[in-house]
Amino acid sequence: MPVIKDLGRRVDMLWFVECYPAYHPRGRDASRALARILSALELDFAILGVEERCVADSQRLAGEKGVFEAMAEHNIGVMQGYEFDRVMVTDPHAYNAFLKEYPKLGGSFETIHYTQLLAPLMDRLPMRTSLDLRVTFHDPCYLGRHNGEYDAPRHCLEAIPGVELTEMMRCRANGYCCGGGGGGMWLDGTNSEHMSERLSERRVREAVETGADVLAVCCPFEVSRFEDAVKSTGNTGRLRVLDIAELIDMAMTDEEA
């Protein structure tokens, strides 16, 4: 992927990848898929590469405000050294931080989530394969309930050939947390001692009840959380967990769904 430091010029869009999509194997799968989509659209984008630091919004919510401020000040300083028109984020937690927290520290950037970018551009993508899948969608808390975006991910899904979108009972403003936000991603070991069922397991059961083949997500935490929950609830082989970018990428190739 193009790195803005190496390009040495202004770009339309700076993609803030975030740490989980950069390092976790399943996050990297979705990142590669998204990179192929952006390239197919011939968009002018670049990433920060090794200059990027974790957005640290989960650390802030878990009480480590100093860590958040240190990471934010680094990112803001680096980003202000380059020229770009807008920021695209993969992670709804980064979306929340860029919209609501970074401006308090002097970093105000026009910011969109990747589904908001893709929703009006879906008809420009070369779709080669009908997926023939029944798909249900989990609303990320920090895209949906905290920031009011429910339509863009659904528009992306509905524009994929062969996708039938079916909603879970708890969706949109009545959505259900996956359990990963607010530091929960790293507290499962502690929380498990005080609950009979993880939130991610409850959500997987709700997805299975819809008869869906795929639980679609657009937050990097959710793929690994829900894939683990599919295993722990005994639904392996019954429900797949895929990022929306992965589904779009599948339809752009000749890959079997």
- Complete domains list, the chain, with CATH: 4-118 (3.40.50.1860), 127-252 (3.40.50)
Length of the chain: 257
| pLDDT score for 180 | 54
Mean pLDDT score of the chain: 91
With cut-offs at 50, 70 and 90, classify the pLDDT of residue 33.
very high
Residue 185 has pLDDT above 60, yes or no: no
Residue 226 has pLDDT above 60, yes or no: yes
Q: What is the largest CA-CA distance in the chain?
A: 53
Global confidence as pTM? 0.92
Residue 189 has pLDDT above 60, yes or no: no
